[in-house]
Structure 1
Amino acid sequence: MYMEIHQLIKKGFSKTQVAKKLGISRSTVYRNLKRSPSDMAEWVESIQTRSKKLDPYKKIILSWLREHPDMSAAQVEDWLKEKYEDLEVGESTVRSYVRELRKQYHINKESSPRIYEAIPDTPMGEQIQVDFGHTKQKAVDNTEVKLNFIAFVLSNSRYKYKEWLDRPFTTQDVIKAHENAFNWFGGIPSELVYDQDSLIVVSENHGDLILTQEFQQYKESRNLTLHVCRKADPESKGKIENVVGFIKHNFAKHRVFHNIDSWNEQGWEWLNRTGNYKIHNTTKKRPVDVFSLERQHLRPVIKNLDIKYNYENSISRSVHKDNTIRYLSNRYSLPLGTFGKYETVCIKETEEKELIIYNHQTGEIIAKHNIPDGRGILVKDRKHSRDRSKGIAAFMDTVAQQFKDKELAFEYLQIIKEKYPRYTRDQLQMILKETKANDPEILSSALKECRKRNLYSATDFSDVVSYLKRYRQTSDTLIIDNAESVPSISHISNWILETEAQKREVDTYTAILEGESK
């Protein structure tokens, strides 16, 4: 362009004519005419060597592109923001940087585009579209796991919600997902649009829908208006089709699966970070911004459901091994020991925003919690926590009782506690194991040796016990109170080095020699 501008000027073209002929602005013409060839050469060289904002992340971006050639620039942007929360970078910056890397390192993008037909936007609060999807993910143990999800999208604002399961959905799961979605959106729309899924629809009798019994009861209790698309008619729910594809290719693709709870939590974080925050390609607006207006047009969620079956008892939650349950993206604590006692518990949300957790068989109330406004919160009752200081003290007393000199043992364990405050319980468990497997005299002797030589750890105690056991096997007598009876030990490593070599039968060597002679 620089050479063309100068050549046209030499031929007699005016600056305005040069700008029109080359399709550039007049200011660009003026700027290039002011530069000498040497200045231009230096400027071009500086452009080529100038550092870019994403250069510090070049290595990791390249590793992603090489491992996943079909990865989009939008997914690269999401992964960067997930891994580096403080990174602020524009969408176009990431797109151009990924394009340059693909060109420089010859990484062609693999793609399989799908065509969607645009449909007019519905009024605010008018419609939510719902659909199911599934993916196959690589787990941490390198196995493949099939995951299923249900997705919701408000047709006007494109505000989204989704839930995952590591098993097939049941009708009850679908109902629970609807309740969670309505709480996420803060209301119910005038119409819900579905595909002909067997969890919701039994059949379509010439336009008259026959719903499953459970979903029919739920529809009546929530006073929902349903619209079910005809088969092979994706145009009627094109927005949710796009959302399903977006979830598969931006969130789930190439992501490693650990467990279903962490997967759902990552999914909700993705919705807030990307799914509902990123500018929509069609509306050119952020869904979260438009949703703040559309939310006002939704019908409020009624807490008490008037339904024919006991819906309250059907809301159950699995008890996790950390003695918590999950409800509306939050975790709620249970008393210690609940995990081994119950597999599932039932929950009830009161009008005062209190969550009651109870045993569905006996009606016994297990815990009560106030429901917070946010998400991703651990709601914990202090009564459900272990009194760790009391537990350690009692454990120390239990271990000390195994020794003849209980006071000396307790003093020894107290020093171990001060030396290993974070691992006291592990140290005590190891010493307790030794006390159950060995003679009291051996233990007393080992305790005195450890005190004498300032060896304050469970590993050292175990090594001393092992050494003394071997020594007693070779000696007829063991005088505990006489320190001279114990052989001179300069360092713990000497005890460890005193090991007995493996002994083989003579026939073994005979067989080997005969084999070699052949």
Structure 2
Amino acid sequence: MDKWGVYMEINQLLKQGFSKSKTAEKLGISRSTLYRYIKRQPKDMGEWTESLLTRQKKLDPNKTLILNWLRKHPDMSASQVSDWLVEKYPSLNVGESTVRSYVRALRKDYDIPKETTKRSYEAVPEGPMGHQVQIDFGQAYYEKARGGHIKLYFIAFVLSHSRYKYMYWLDRHFTTKDVIYAHELAFKWFEGVPDELVYDQDNLIVVSENGGDLILTEEFQSYKETMKLNLHVCRKADPESKGKIENVVGFIKKNFGKHRVFQSLDKWNEQAIDWLNRTGNARLHNTIKKRPADVFSLEKEHLRPIPNKEIVPYNVNTSIARSIRKDNTIRYLSNRYSLPLGSFHKYDEVFLTLTDEQMLIICCPDGEILAKHKLSIEKGKLVQDRTHTRDRTKGIDAFLESVSRCFKNEALAGTYLSQLRENYPRYIRDQLQMVSKVAKATDKDILEQALEECVKRKLFSATDISDVVDYIKRQRLIPDTTMNQEDGNLPSSSKRHHWVMTTGSQKRDMNQYYSILEGELS
């Protein structure tokens, strides 16, 4: 409905007895707009609406350019249109709301509906200044200046409090050395180091979870100790733990990278820095209602200083394409490496990358990591990840009950396993599997003694009970028969440990030997 039609509808509804609030609600306009309309006389309203038809809008000189963008990229946001305009015309002074209204009008007049996708995130409480930075990776295909497309990879950083961002791009998969180099660049950009670094479970940083106890890659472990970093590694695509960086990755893809033409990697990273200064860190943030650059000017005072040292980039081999076999494996250097069940029907091929730590990383075409294996130096071997075959349908409660039955004292075992569940809620299945493996391979008496010691000493971890079992096995001694039975004392050189256990050899009945000998003589 045009403005004159709205004006007439307002007057009709008011004459029918509708209140101003109800009239605005029925017509879908704000009350301030309604008040502006009812103050005008019909003659003034007619002259105003007629002037709108001939009045030039501020963005009309750029109309053709904006229309070309919208027609070529229907999913383009008004925010990205605003950023592209400022990038192309740095002297252009126009508000984002003006661009949004203009783009909305063009979409309606030229029938260019916007293509949208939705993703939900859960709110995360705000942390103190300088406390946390969230880090994640992203990748996407982009058009090349000379034709064709190229897949680019990036790592993004965002300070949780100020939302101040940084990103670094490569035209190949990252290695651990690249990740360390990107960290050095980010800390230099932030002018300090935060108290906590939040990561996804990326193979470049984490080798194994070990039931919640993190084992880092050798290079990153060394870097962590040198920089005295405090790490928190969360589940993949976990918005509860790293929702801010999930949003930043999407913002970078949709606002900076989308529809941008790739010329060279150096040029691309230069454009990324310009975008951060112009848009990523300079635009009003919708959640905190402040500009990240303004908040960062205060937050950087709370960051830990970093030592000055030379930053040197690194190189890595490119990825290798492989077809998936029917048994959900791929062949590499005469060995087979497992993939998750169903990969054969889901993907035509996968891409392999060998890291400096001799880890074989297997990714699907869109860059998602499907599997990671330690490279085997043998030939003809099947290297299989147990998670590619284990049954995930069994409930945790049933699994906990099943493991507790491996112990003599099921009640005590149930209490111990419940405490494991409380300590490792996200890794309880891994913890139970480790305990079950230890229980099935251990003598019942030793297992029971280990359980009692773990409860007594409050050692609630699968690795702890495994270590205690090993310790008891090493301490098993035969009782000293020379002990003075009267005073019950032992010489200091032969005192027994409080975990000592007695044992004896198994004795067969002699008739078994007689029957064997008789058989040989006959």
TM-score range, shorter chain: 0.5 to 0.7
Residue 21 of structure 1 and its aligned partner are, at CA, apart by 5.2
Alignment of 1:347-426 (within 5 A): none
Query: 2:267 aligned with 1:262, yes or no?
Result: yes
Scaled by the length of structure 2, what TM-score is found? 0.55
Is the Cα–Cα contact under 8 Å of residues 138 and 145 in structure 1 kept in the other structure?
A: yes
Alignment of 1:205-354 (within 5 A): 205-303=210-308, 315-316=312-313
Compared CA separation, residues 224 and 155, structure 1 to 2 (3 A): same
Query: 2:189 aligned with 1:192, yes or no?
Result: no
- Of the candidates 38, 47, 55, which is equivalent to residue 42 of structure 1? 47
Residue 29 of structure 1 and its aligned partner are, at CA, apart by 5.4
Is the Cα–Cα contact under 8 Å of residues 187 and 193 in structure 2 kept in the other structure?
A: yes
- Of the candidates 109, 113, 117, which is equivalent to residue 108 of structure 1? 113
Residue 25 of structure 1 and its aligned partner are, at CA, apart by 6.0
Compared CA separation, residues 65 and 46, structure 1 to 2 (3 A): same
Compared CA separation, residues 207 and 66, structure 1 to 2 (3 A): same
Is the Cα–Cα contact under 8 Å of residues 126 and 160 in structure 2 kept in the other structure?
A: yes
Query: 2:176 aligned with 1:171, yes or no?
Result: yes
Deviations 1:437-465 (A, max 9, x none): xxxxxxxxxxxxxxxxxxxxxxxxxxxxx
Q: Distance in 2 between matches of 1:220 and 1:107?
A: 54
Q: Matched residues, percent identical?
A: 64
Q: Distance in 2 between matches of 1:257 and 1:175?
A: 25
Query: 2:128 aligned with 1:120, yes or no?
Result: no
Q: The residue matched to 2:75 in structure 1 has which SS?
A: coil
- Of the candidates 136, 145, 154, which is equivalent to residue 141 of structure 2? 136
Deviations 1:265-306 (A, max 9, x none): 0000000000001111111111001101111110011236xx
Query: 2:73 aligned with 1:68, yes or no?
Result: yes
Determine the structure 1 residue equivalent to 2:23: 22
Compared CA separation, residues 160 and 46, structure 1 to 2 (3 A): same
Compared CA separation, residues 171 and 63, structure 1 to 2 (3 A): same
Compared CA separation, residues 299 and 49, structure 1 to 2 (3 A): same
Compared CA separation, residues 173 and 20, structure 1 to 2 (3 A): closer
Query: 2:96 aligned with 1:91, yes or no?
Result: yes
Matched letter for residue 225 of structure 1? N
Q: Distance in 2 between matches of 1:3 and 1:188?
A: 61
Q: Distance in 2 between matches of 1:9 and 1:238?
A: 47
Residue 8 of structure 1 and its aligned partner are, at CA, apart by 6.9
Determine the structure 1 residue equivalent to 2:395: none
Q: The residue matched to 1:205 in structure 2 has which SS?
A: coil
Determine the structure 2 residue equivalent to 1:308: none
Q: Distance in 2 between matches of 1:246 and 1:30?
A: 37
Compared CA separation, residues 107 and 219, structure 1 to 2 (3 A): same
Determine the structure 2 residue equivalent to 1:372: none
Scaled by the length of structure 1, what TM-score is found? 0.56
Compared CA separation, residues 271 and 25, structure 1 to 2 (3 A): closer
Mean CA deviation greater in 48-57 or 18-27: 18-27
Q: Distance in 1 between matches of 2:264 and 2:39?
A: 63
Q: Distance in 1 between matches of 2:150 and 2:126?
A: 36
Deviations 1:13-43 (A, max 9, x none): 7xxx8545534769965974662x3332221
Q: Which aligned runs of 4 or more in structure 1 are off by greater than 4 angstroms? A: 4-11, 23-31
Matched letter for residue 255 of structure 2? N
Compared CA separation, residues 208 and 52, structure 1 to 2 (3 A): same
Residue 148 of structure 1 and its aligned partner are, at CA, apart by 0.6
Q: Distance in 1 between matches of 2:111 and 2:61?
A: 20
Q: Distance in 2 between matches of 1:5 and 1:106?
A: 27
Matched letter for residue 142 of structure 2? Q
Is the Cα–Cα contact under 8 Å of residues 187 and 298 in structure 1 kept in the other structure?
A: yes
Q: Distance in 2 between matches of 1:27 and 1:74?
A: 25
Q: Distance in 2 between matches of 1:27 and 1:280?
A: 27
Determine the structure 2 residue equivalent to 1:180: 185
Q: Distance in 2 between matches of 1:50 and 1:79?
A: 25
Compared CA separation, residues 10 and 172, structure 1 to 2 (3 A): closer
Matched letter for residue 285 of structure 2? H
Larger Rg: 1
Is the Cα–Cα contact under 8 Å of residues 131 and 194 in structure 1 kept in the other structure?
A: yes
Structure 1 runs not aligned, ≥5 long = 305-311, 319-518
Q: Distance in 2 between matches of 1:137 and 1:223?
A: 37
Structure 2 runs not aligned, ≥5 long = 1-5, 25-29, 316-522
Query: 2:58 aligned with 1:53, yes or no?
Result: yes
Count residues with an aligned counterpart: 305
Is the Cα–Cα contact under 8 Å of residues 19 and 26 in structure 1 kept in the other structure?
A: no
User: What RMSD, in angstroms, separates the aligned Cα atoms of the two structures?
Assistant: 2.3
Compared CA separation, residues 21 and 267, structure 1 to 2 (3 A): closer
Compared CA separation, residues 50 and 190, structure 1 to 2 (3 A): same
Q: Distance in 1 between matches of 2:297 and 2:305?
A: 15
Determine the structure 2 residue equivalent to 1:201: 206
Q: Which has the higher contact order (CA 8 A, sep 6+)?
A: 2
